[in-house]
A = this chain, B = another copy of it.
Amino acid sequence: MVLVELGTGEPVTERARIEILDAAAACFMERGYAATSIDDVARRLRATKGRIYHHFSSKADLFAQIFRTGMDMNFAAIEPFRSLDEPAVDVWTKMARTHVRQMIVTRAYQRVVWEGVEMHLRGATTPEQRSQFNELVEYRTQYSNVFRAQMARARDEGDMHFADLSIANQMMFMALNSPIFWYKPRPGENMQDIDNIVDQIVAFARGGLGGKDKEES
Contact = CB atoms under 8 A, between A and B. Distances in A.
Interface of A: 30-35, 118, 121-124, 162-164, 167-168, 170-171, 174-175, 178, 181-182, 196-197, 199-201, 203-205, 207-210
Contacts of A205: 208
A197 B162 CA distance: 12
A108 to B, nearest CB: 12
Contacts of A163: 196, 199-200, 203
Q: Which 6 A-B residue pairings sit nearest by Cβ, starting from the closest? A: A34-B34, A204-B208, A208-B208, A34-B35, A174-B178, A207-B207
Contact of A200 (B124, B162, B199): B162
Interface of A is mostly: helix
15 contacts: A30-B122, A32-B122, A33-B35, A35-B124, A162-B200, A163-B203, A167-B200, A167-B201, A168-B200, A170-B182, A175-B175, A203-B208, A204-B208, A207-B209, A208-B208
Contacts of A118: 181
A31 B115 CA distance: 11
Nearest to A163: B200
A28 to B, nearest CB: 11
A24 to B, nearest CB: 16
Nearest to A169: B182
B204 A171 contact: yes
